[in-house]
Structure formats: structure tokens, C-alpha cells
Structure 1
Amino acid sequence: MTNLDIVRSTYEGKNSEENGKNLQRFITDETLWTEAAGFPYAGTYQGFAEIEKHVFARLGSEWINYNFQVEDYVAAGDKVVAYGTYSGTNKTSGKFFSARVAHLWQLKDGKIKSFEQFVDSKTVRDAM
């Protein structure tokens, strides 16, 4: 698989469970995952267990239909950028949001080395 194929597999599975399994398959204990400053889950997490606990478990428990609609990808060497739009409805407030986002992935030897999120965090916080 190319680096682009690996990143695509984390977004374009048949369902979110498949995407999660694909993501986990390419993460190592050294993988660094950075959620943007100002985002509700801001911080840098290492390895799948931390990423699952601090990001994905919260997305699943705090949002209805939280989604990243990928518009396109840009790939060069060991870097892949996926960009598009987040959307979802907060379970507590009932408010819907939509925000532009980009994800920067760095890969090495077929594994995800790092992930960094760039997003309009204000729209997400306002929905919460």
C-alpha cells in the first residue's frame, strides 16, 4: 500500500468500525496524534490506547453523527494531507456544527508516524 492508500483506508471504510480497525493497524506505540489547540480534545497523545481514550471514545459519547467528509487528498513523499469538513450534533446542547479541517499525516515504512489536526475549533466549541 502507498502512504495515500493507508490514509484513505482510515476514512473510506464501509463503516466507522472498519475505519477504526484500519487506523489501529497502522499505528505504533510511538505514533503521535495531535489535536489542535483550542479543540475540545486538544493535546498530543501517543499510541492507540491514548488516542482511543482521549479522542475517539469522546467523539462517540459526546456527538451524534460526528463525521469528517473528506474533500480530497494531497500526497508527497512521507506526508499526506486530507482536507474537508467536520460536522455533527452535540448530544448535550443539541447544536449542530460544520467546520473546515485538514489532517496532516506523516508515515514511515508503512506505519503512521504522526497525525496533526488543523480545524476551526470555535465552531466546535460553540456547538458544545
Structure 2
Amino acid sequence: MGLTAMESNLDIIRATYEGASEENVRNLLAALAPNATWTEAAGFPYAGTYTGPEAIIANVFQRLATEWIDYRAEVHTYLADGDRVAAFGVYSGTYRKTGKAMTATFAHLYRLKDGKIVSMEQYVDSAMVRQALVD
């Protein structure tokens, strides 16, 4: 089946960033393979690798939604290369417990297979994020 008959890998990833956050999460859930791995970078508050949609939502997105005010991941550049898609951008938000705001650059590298995300690896300037966590 050619790419004309289905969404491109780039379209699939773009749909997880470009809408309202509820819409983005819905699109992400639909795109995740059942055994997808999601790696948050060392030094990031949610560092670790989570496997499967439930673990990914609980350990990453649920926490972002409850621990931060106006948390955003704004992408400025997408690069697609075969089964890989990279998204580059800037995180921003205010940590609820400290009231401190942050901005930090990130890159996310996705690998897809048959239109489903099988892995995501996060690269981030975690020092900028961590500054918001301490009083």
C-alpha cells in the first residue's frame, strides 16, 4: 500500500502536536503501537522508558497535565527519513508547586512501523526544566 492511500509518517506525528492538547493525546493514543516504547531523557523529571500506551499516558502525559500550568511542546521543524520522524521545538510551562516558568529546547525521534509509533526518544535541555522544579 503506497503512502497516498494512508497518512504519511510525518502527518501521523504532526497530528500529535498541532491541535488542542486533548486532540493531540487522542491522536497519539491512536498512533501508538501496543508495545510502543517511550523514553524520557535522563535528567528530565519523568526520565525512564515506558512501554505501552497506558504506561506512557500515566507516567508522562497525566503528569504533564497535572503538575504543570500551560505546558506546551511547540514544534518548529519536522524531519522525515523513511520510518523515522524527528520533531524539534521548545517546551514551555509553569511548574505548579513552585510557580516557576521554564522554556527548554527539545528533539523527539520517532520510529514508525505500518503507520504506528513503535518508539520515541526524547532529547532535551533538562537543566532548564529542572530549574522550575526547585524553590
Deviation at 1:29, TM superposition (A): 1.8
Alignment of 1:113 onto 2:113: no
Specify which of 7, 13, 18 is matched with residue 12 of structure 1.
18
For 1:6 and 1:28, locate their aligned partners in 2 and report how far apart those are by CA, in whole Å: 13
Of all paired residues, the percent bearing the same amino acid is 56
Q: Match of 1:6, as an amino acid? A: I
Corresponding residue to 1:31 among 29, 36, 44: 36
Q: Give distance in 2, aligned partners of 1:11 and 1:69.
A: 7
Higher gyration radius (CA):
2
The aligned counterpart of 2:62 is 57
Kindly provide the amino acid, as one letter, of the partner of residue 8 in structure 2.
Answer: T
Pairwise CA distance, 1:126 = 0.9
Equivalent in the alignment of 2:107: 102
Asked if 1:21 is matched to 2:26, the reply is: yes
4+ aligned runs moved over 6 Å, structure 1: none
State the 1:47 CA deviation.
0.8
- Partners of 2:84 and 2:33 lie apart in 1 by 17
Aligned to 2:98, the other structure's residue is in SS state coil
Give how far 1:28 is off: 2.0
Q: Which runs of 5 or more structure 1 residues have no equivalent in the other structure?
A: none
- Distance in 2 of aligned mates of 1:56 and 1:40: 12
Counterpart-to-counterpart distance in 1, 2:25 and 2:105? 22
Structure-1 residue corresponding to 2:3 = none
Size of the aligned set, in residue pairs, is 127
| Counterpart amino acid of residue 55 in structure 2 | E
Aligned residue for 2:75, secondary structure, equals strand
Partner of 1:98: helix, strand, or coil? strand
Q: Distance in 1 between matches of 2:33 and 2:118?
A: 8
For 2:31 and 2:15, locate their aligned partners in 1 and report how far apart those are by CA, in whole Å. Answer: 10
Question: Cα RMSD over matched residues?
Answer: 0.6
